[in-house]
Amino acid sequence: MEDTEKYPRQGLIMVVCAPSGTGKSTLISRLREEISNFGFSISYTTRAPRGQERDGREYHFVSRDKFIAMRSRGEFAEWAEVHGNFYGTAIKPIHDMLGEGKDILFDIDVQGALQLRKAFPNGVFVYLLPPSKVELERRLRGRGTDSEETIVKRMDNALGELKQAHEFDYWIVNDDLGVAFEQLKAVYYAGCTKPGLRPEMVADMINTWRDDV
Amino acid sequence: MEDTEKYPRQGLIMVVCAPSGTGKSTLISRLREEISNFGFSISYTTRAPRGQERDGREYHFVSRDKFIAMRSRGEFAEWAEVHGNFYGTAIKPIHDMLGEGKDILFDIDVQGALQLRKAFPNGVFVYLLPPSKVELERRLRGRGTDSEETIVKRMDNALGELKQAHEFDYWIVNDDLGVAFEQLKAVYYAGCTKPGLRPEMVADMINTWRDDV
């Protein structure tokens, strides 16, 4: 479905946020299966590698000093501290991938998404919604993995995140998974036609209009 | 592909512009065939009805005085004078259709599109591009309907319109018709998930979060 690339486009940044239990992981996996053009952004972290994790594959494992130095040089598009460890997305490798025409899909929380939005205004920012509070709670309980306390906490977090849903470009309600997936694909393919991804195309046409025969 | 409409959405305004010869009419016809939810906006005009044209079907035929009165009351989302006649799109019937959930597809020139953009900021504005100047000229000649003088004029107009392409949300290059059609559909379906089309959805969820059981 890509056009024939006389004017190759830059990669698209697609960011998907959703309250826990909305079905985001399923939808993102299906999108990665269907669209081969997504590269992976490898985050930096100060936490220690676990099990089979290897530096440069799951994460770039760095010291706290190095992370803080990078952060103070403004090298992160977004960063956060979780349970005492830092996590961050470096800007330069993202720009390199975009320049090669690779798209990047971010599965991230709302705070990270809003930081990415500032660094990458050409991205598309999608907020996935549960059909209702009742249905979200039903799905969380249905997973059978969370304690009552965790479920209450997830529902509270969901409420907090919903309050920032208006910052996003698209709202997709995951009521029927198939419908939500088609909508997510449409947002991706539409995003690929944004002018910012081919900044020179029209200017080049105009510049050569008089002498192009 | 619509979601199940617990929160019915408002209609979407979709505006498609393109230089003459780009294939816009073909693409728009196919889109109307495939998507049944497009209503028709009936323009007002001061020109006389022709042949089988009926008032309220092809156009609302009105006097010059009435048109000017409507215009001075700010009732038009866009208007233009062509060969001494006025043409305009009234705002109220559009809002009524959008409120009923009907989408509206506008096939209009760039000037009209930019006026519509101000009246309907939630719309999606698509600019269709030819793959190149050479190909556009080849297509115009291939139609065999235009004189050399007309072709030169159309090419000049195309250049003028290209200079405003940066005002649009999406650029679709019509190189392969099938690809361009898929992209146009994606833009439509993505547009249907814009927050502005369900302005109350998230606010309602938040308001009922505490007591919704």
The per-residue pLDDT for A106 is: 95
Report whether pLDDT(B23) > 60. yes
What ipTM describes this predicted complex? Answer: 0.91
Cβ contact (<8 Å) for A6 and B179? no
Question: Who wins on pLDDT, B20 or A211?
Answer: B20
One domain for residues A79 and A121: no
One domain for residues A111 and A212: yes
Residue of B204, B205, B206, B210 to mutate for A, most A C-beta atoms under 10 A: B205
CATH code: domain of residue B84: 3.30.63.10
CATH code: domain of residue B159: 3.40.50.300
One domain for residues B125 and B172: yes
One domain for residues A158 and A117: yes
* Confidence at A1, pLDDT banded by 50, 70, 90: low
Question: Who wins on pLDDT, A50 or B144?
Answer: A50
Report whether pLDDT(B145) > 90. no
The per-residue pLDDT for B211 is: 67
One domain for residues B168 and B122: yes
Which of B165, B179, B201 minimises the CB distance to A3?
A: B179
The per-residue pLDDT for B213 is: 54
The per-residue pLDDT for B106 is: 95
Owning domain of residue B202 = 1-37+103-213
Report, as an integer, the average pLDDT of B3-11: 75
Q: Model's pTM, two decimal places?
A: 0.92
The helix-helix angle for B148-162 and A201-208 (nearest 10°) equals 140
Q: What is the pLDDT of residues B84-129, one digit of tens each?
A: 999 999 999 999 999 999 999 999 999 999 999 999 999 999 999 9
Which chain A residues are within 8 Å of B194, Cβ to Cβ? 169-171
The per-residue pLDDT for B143 is: 84
Q: What is the pLDDT of residues B189-213, one digit of tens each?
A: 999 999 999 988 999 889 888 765 5
One domain for residues B65 and B167: no
Average pLDDT, chain A: 92
The per-residue pLDDT for B144 is: 83
Interface of A with B in 128-167 (CB under 8 A): 129, 131-134, 159, 162-163, 165-166
Average pLDDT, chain B: 92
One domain for residues B134 and B182: yes
Cβ contact (<8 Å) for B171 and A213? no
Report whether pLDDT(B75) > 70. yes
Report whether pLDDT(A81) > 60. yes
Report whether pLDDT(A135) > 50. yes
Report whether pLDDT(A13) > 50. yes
One domain for residues A119 and A182: yes
Question: Given phi > 0 = left and psi -120 to 50 = alpha, else beta, which region is A101?
Answer: left
One domain for residues A67 and A171: no
One domain for residues B165 and B92: no
- From A100, A127, A148, give the residue that closes a domain: A100
Which token pair is A177?
């998974």
One domain for residues A93 and A114: no
Cβ contact (<8 Å) for B193 and A187? yes
Round to whole Å and give the CA distance between B36 and B39: 8
Q: DSSP 3-state assignment of B172?
A: strand
Round to whole Å and give the CA distance between A195 and A211: 24
Cβ contact (<8 Å) for B212 and A3? no
* Confidence at A142, pLDDT banded by 50, 70, 90: confident
Which of B166, B186, B212 minimises the CB distance to A202?
A: B166
- From B100, B115, B140, give the residue that closes a domain: B100
One domain for residues B8 and B55: no
Question: Who wins on pLDDT, B175 or B143?
Answer: B175
Question: Who wins on pLDDT, A78 or A7?
Answer: A78
Which of A2, A162, A202 minimises the CB distance to B202?
A: A162
Number of independent structural domains in chain B: 2
Whether the CB of B5 is below 8 Å from some CB of chain A: the reply is no
Cβ contact (<8 Å) for A191 and B190? yes
Question: Who wins on pLDDT, B7 or B167?
Answer: B167
* Confidence at A213, pLDDT banded by 50, 70, 90: low
Which chain A residues are within 8 Å of B190, Cβ to Cβ? 170, 183, 186-187, 189-191
- Out of A41-55, A86-100, A196-210, B52-66, least confident range: A196-210
- What's the half-sphere exposure (Cβ side, CA atoms, 13 Å) at A150? 9
DSSP conformation letters of B34-88: H-TTEE-PPEEE-SPP-TT--BTTTEEE--HHHHHHHHHTT-EEEEEEETTEEEE
Q: What are phi and psi of B62, to 5 degrees?
A: -130, 160
Residue of B171, B174, B175 to mutate for A, most A C-beta atoms under 10 A: B171
